[in-house]
A and B are shown apart, each in its own frame.
Chain A
Amino acid sequence: MAPKVKLPKPEELAKIEFKTPATDWMDTPVEFKPGTFCWGSKEKDLLTLGLPNPRQWSPADEDWKVPEGWETTILEGMAERLSKYRSFKIFMDICVRCGACADKCHFYIATGDPKNMPVLRAELIRSVYKKYFTKSGKFLGRLAGARELDMDVLKEWWSYFFQCTECRRCSVFCPYGIDQAEVTIIGRELLNLVGLNIDWISGPVANCYMKGNHLGLEPHAIAGNIESMVDDIEDITGIRVNPTFNRKGAEILFVTPSGDLLGEPGIQTCMGYLMLFHELGLDYTWSTYASEGGNFGFFTSNDMAKRLNYKIYAEAKRLGVKYIIGGECGHMWRVLNQYMDTWHGPADFLEVPVSPITGTVFENAKSTKMIHISEFTADLIKHNKLNLDPTRNDHLKVTFHDSCNPSRGMGLLDEPREIIKAVCNNFYEMPENTIREKTFCCGAGSGLNASENMEQRMRGGFPRANAVKYVQEKHGVNMLANICAVDRAHFPALMDYWNPGVGVTGVTELLANALVMKGEKERTTNLRFEDLPGKGGNE
């Protein structure tokens, strides 16, 4: 491991040079600057998963130890994917390079590196496609924008496909809907064929495969962590909630990202789930086997994503539940919404979700039988089933960050807002071009939330942070709400860096703070043991 690199100051990082290099992009070599890239995948993790070319290697080394004949592996991999994915084929063929996507990417905005323009990021792979799969590229070569596949090209792919967070923002603006996330997904699949992943992805994937969750929490650790949250809830509310694990015959299986089980502010969101479900008397269970809602396999290959996703339906079937509720997470919901049913459906052993409290039938999930916690909660609020005291959140001025995947891979936009408006009196939207379907990525999605690439994370999050800063200055916003575990893990560092004074919270934590539970004692602190407004001694 290289020594820790110093993070530049925000003023330095905000000096962004948008000048294009003097050399053509094909002649501009890729640079590996410490602080801007992630460590390579570890040998043991690839062995656990049975993925190709397990070995110790470092992207900083000259020799990446890729196997002999890797070019053939990659080109055959491309041919296979061209025949399997119409999206990939069309996206390789029809881009007109109009440039509408260019300044829509947070990494381009924050680095000024033209290869971070989605169009050029795609061109990195398109140029190879043209050379080996089109006649014009074969005969005209560079004139047709084609180039040979060599080690420098491979390294360039690795660098830039792990600088894309698969957020799909470019796809919103593309006149043909070309989705760079789709290109990156395929690009990463190809890289994985020769053993080129990053540690921050393959590590969690190996954990999740063997132990059920990315963090690698073993069953007793999950129960233990939740037990200590239960203790905290009792201290704060006087109520002892009673979660169960792997319980057969429960009505509902609850699955959330394991990020909610460890570290602040994830655990407060998790306490929120526990309190809400207890207050409703919900017949639900946790699973230690399907203990991960997220899916870092999705950042490796579609097959790997399918291997991890298997556990959710398998566990629902084993436990005999009626349906599944999923917690607050971003890419988890892209996968659950657009992939799970195709991979592992039909879920005919489950029933169409019906809220036991309001009777609402979730027709929108009638095939997958899995609903989002925000859909479930917004329904409760609409039917006045919760006793809420929003003044407990009066010290907060809240804004909401739409996570990329729920917004552009699902369209879950108003549900969390309905919850926030019911539990907070001070809610302010960020500027129009930075929210909802045009939301900016946090900068650390798709497995890029490591620590060794901190500089790149702070860059990637700059457009998001800058929009937060706008409402911070205009309205005094001091809390950034979200529905994503990666957000909760990454934003505290991002806010400290760009906008000190802005906290980070899950929406369900806000809800639980406002939730007046039956028989609770007078609360004096919130879930973080901070004094409530007007209730504490040191107001």
Chain B
Amino acid sequence: MKVLFSFLAVILLILVATMGAFITNLHYVFGIIIPYLAFAMFVGGFIYRVVKWGRSPVPFRIPTTIGQQKSLPWIKQNKIENPTSALGVIVRMAMEVLFFRSLFRNTKTELREGQNGPELSYGSAKWLWLGSLFFHWSFLIIIIRHLRFFLEPIPFAVQILESVDGMLQIGLPAIYLTDVFILVAVTYLFLRRIIVPQVKYISLPADFFPLFMLMSIAISGILMRYFYKVDLVAVKQLAIGLATFQPVLPTGIGPMFFIHIFLVSILFAYFPMSKLMHMGGIFMSPTRNMISNNRMVRHINPWNPEVEVHTYAQYEDEFREKMKKAGIPVEKE
């Protein structure tokens, strides 16, 4: 049901895109107005969300410590997973953001009947890590590759990336590795959501929708590159027009392009109001981005509240006689 809903939503979007692609009068809307709107919603929404997070303070320093603390000089501190310096935090965050360090720890718990009763075991489980890593890196490389449409001359770094990505040199135009990886990875991420019962149980339409969107974007891109070819010179003209805020609409681009760019636009517009904001959130997560020096440097809570306390004087007033009897010193005789 949840899967179906998201699937139908994406199908509907594809139909809308197809309509836009085949009605030439709508090309200006689909090729220029919607991408601008989407881009504005993405940037505006992203900033709005991050600012909203940032407006809430971090009252306590609560890093999750995942290794030995700094204490006695001869005890080896884990300087990355229990960092007491800014550098340690930077490395820790880089490991999370670039290599998904925490996901790499993943294990799979299994309960089996052993000789002497039940046995729990925790096997290695790296597939989710691998799938996510392939997906995110491929996505990033594909986005960088797309800079070729927005920049003239094409930066050398982008050209290098392209040639590495296409190094297999199969077919013409050459197949990009990342195109294959992203499709495989997204398919894997989708399949585990419908096959693993626990993951299926927790999944919401909002978990399937982005996966279907990504799939259709990747597929429309691949179709455009290999099967329903579009006029690349015209596409670049349009892209540079958009980037320089002097939009032009060349004729004869080819319908697949409009489908592709519409789906991309929807994803961008949807991004800030969805879980995809984990891209921004990961940088701001207090359990990972804080220095674990709680006992060395005092952390300030901007709203540190006044609270009612039970003072020693009140305590002694209640127990003075009992304290004196037990030989415990008191303030007031």
Binding site for B on A (CB under 8 A): 10-11, 14, 16, 18-20, 25, 50, 82-91, 93-100, 102-104, 109, 114, 117, 119-120, 123, 134-136, 143-145, 168, 171-179, 182, 209-212, 218-220, 223-224, 245-248, 288-289, 302-303, 306-307, 310-311, 314-315, 318, 337-339, 341-343, 345-346, 360, 362-368, 370, 375, 378-379, 382, 407-415, 418, 431, 433-434, 436-438, 462-463, 466-467, 469-470, 473
CB distance from A303 to the nearest CB of B (A): 5
Chain B residues within 8 Å of chain A by Cβ, number: 101
Query: Nearest-CB distance from A228 to chain B (Å)?
Result: 13
In the complex, the answer to whether A20 meets B200 with C-beta atoms within 8 Å is yes
Number of CB contacts from chain A to chain B under 8 A: 316
Is B108 touching A382 in the complex (CB atoms < 8 A)? no
Q: Which residue of A lies closest to B58 (CB)?
A: A86
Report whether B100 and A97 are in contact in the complex, using a CB–CB cutoff of 8 Å.
no
| A247 with B329: CB separation less than 8 A | yes
B204 with A407: CB separation less than 8 A? no
Q: Beyond A25-B201, A219-B328, is A342–B72 a contact (Cβ under 8 Å)?
A: no
B interface residues, Cβ below 8 angstroms from A: 5, 49, 52-62, 64-72, 74-76, 78, 81-82, 96, 100, 102-103, 105-109, 111, 116-120, 122, 128, 132, 196-207, 273-275, 277-278, 280-282, 284-288, 292, 294-301, 303-305, 307-312, 315-316, 318-319, 322-323, 325-330
Knowing A16-B111, A94-B275, A95-B275 are in contact, say whether A410-B65 is a contact too (CB < 8 A): yes
Q: Which residues of A contact B310 (CB under 8 A)?
A: 209-210, 307, 310-311
Taking the nearest CB of chain A, how far is it from the CB of B312, in angstroms?
Answer: 5
B102 touches A175 (CB 8 A): yes
Query: When the two chains form their complex, are residues B307 and A310 in contact, meaning their CB atoms are under 8 A apart?
Result: yes
| A99-B202 contact in complex given A11-B117, A90-B53, A342-B61, C-beta closer than 8 Å | yes
Most chain A beta-carbon neighbours within 10 Å: one of B206, B303, B316? B206
Residue of B with least CB distance to A382: B74
Identify B75's interface contact among A88, A144, A306, A415, CB under 8 A.
Answer: A415
**Structural contact, B305 and A245, CB atoms closer than 8 A:** no
**A341–B298 touching, CB < 8 Å:** yes
Partner of A109, one of B68, B109, B116, B128: B109
Q: Which of A144, A176, A375, A379 contacts B278 (CB 8 A)?
A: A176
Chain B, residue nearest A470 (CB)? B119
Report how far A362 CA is from B75 CA in the complex, Å: 13
B contact residues around A19 at 8 Å (CB): 197
B78's nearest neighbour on chain A, judged by CB, is A411
CA distance A86 to B54 in the complex (A): 7
Chain B residues near A311 (CB-CB < 8 A): 309-310, 312
- B65 in complex: contacting residue of A93, A367, A437, CB < 8 Å: A437
The smallest beta-carbon distance between A188 and chain B, in angstroms, is: 16
The residue that B62 contacts in the complex, of A87, A95, A246, A318, with Cβ under 8 A, is A87
Chain A to chain B contacts (Cβ below 8 Å), 8 pairs: A94-B275, A98-B128, A109-B111, A119-B202, A360-B72, A364-B71, A408-B64, A437-B66
Contact call A307/B277, Cβ cutoff below 8 A: no
- Interface of chain B, main secondary structure: loop
Does B204 contact A145, Cβ atoms closer than 8 Å? Answer: yes
**New A-B contacts (8) at CB < 8 Å, excluding given A364-B70, A414-B68:** A86-B57, A96-B278, A136-B206, A177-B64, A360-B72, A366-B296, A367-B295, A408-B66
Closest to A363 in B: B296
Contacts of A415 in B (CB 8 A): 71-72, 75
Tell me which residues across on chain A come within 8 A of B296, comparing CB atoms: 363-367
CB-CB nearest in chain B for A318: B312
On whether the beta carbons of A14 and B117 are closer than 8 Å, the reply is yes
Given known contacts A86-B53, A90-B53, A318-B312, A97 and B329 CB-to-CB distance under 8 angstroms: no
Partner of A14, one of B118, B128, B294: B118
**Nearest neighbor of A136 in chain B, beta-carbon distance:** B273
Given A14-B117, A368-B295, A339 contacting B106 (CB threshold 8 A): no
A224 touches B326 (CB 8 A): yes
Taking CB atoms, residues of chain A closer than 8 Å to B102 are: 100, 172-175, 177
User: Which residues on the B side are within 8 Å of A408 (C-beta)?
Assistant: 64-66
CA distance A19 to B107 in the complex (A): 19
Cross-chain contact B297 with A367 (CB below 8 angstroms) = yes
Which chain A residues border B70 with CB–CB below 8 Å?
364
Complex contacts, A182 vs chain B, CB 8 Å = 62, 287
The answer to whether A90 touches B281, judged by C-beta atoms less than 8 angstroms apart, is yes
A463, B309: Cα distance in complex, Å: 39
| A398 to B78 Cα, complex, angstroms | 25
Cα A306 to Cα B304 in complex, Å, equals: 10
Q: Is the CB of B68 within 8 A of A103?
A: no
Give complex CA distance A114, B106 in Å.
Answer: 18
**A382 proximity list for chain B (CB < 8 A):** 72, 74
Q: How far is the CA of A318 from the CA of B330 in the complex (A)?
A: 12
Other-chain contact of A418, B5, B75, B275 (Cβ < 8 Å): B75
- State in angstroms the CA–CA spacing of A238 and B157 once bound together: 79
What's the minimum C-beta distance from B289 to chain A, rounded to whole angstroms?
Answer: 8
- Minimum C-beta distance from B32 to chain A (A): 27
- CB B76 to nearest CB in A, in angstroms, measures 8
Closest to A412 in B: B69
Most A C-beta atoms less than 10 A away, residue of B68, B196, B305: B68
Partner of B56, one of A86, A247, A407, A411: A86
Q: With the chains together, A224 CA to B327 CA distance in Å?
A: 11
In whole angstroms, how far apart are the Cα atoms of A462 and B119 in the complex?
A: 10
B326 and A220 contacting across the interface, CB-CB below 8 Å: yes
Q: A303–B303 Cα gap in the complex (Å)?
A: 12
**Least CB distance, A295 to chain B, in whole angstroms:** 13
A residues in contact with B128, CB < 8 Å = 98-100
Expressed in whole angstroms, the Cα–Cα distance for A341 and B299 within the complex equals 7
- A83 contacts which chain B residues (CB < 8 A)? 55-56
Cα A363 to Cα B57 with chains together (Å) = 28
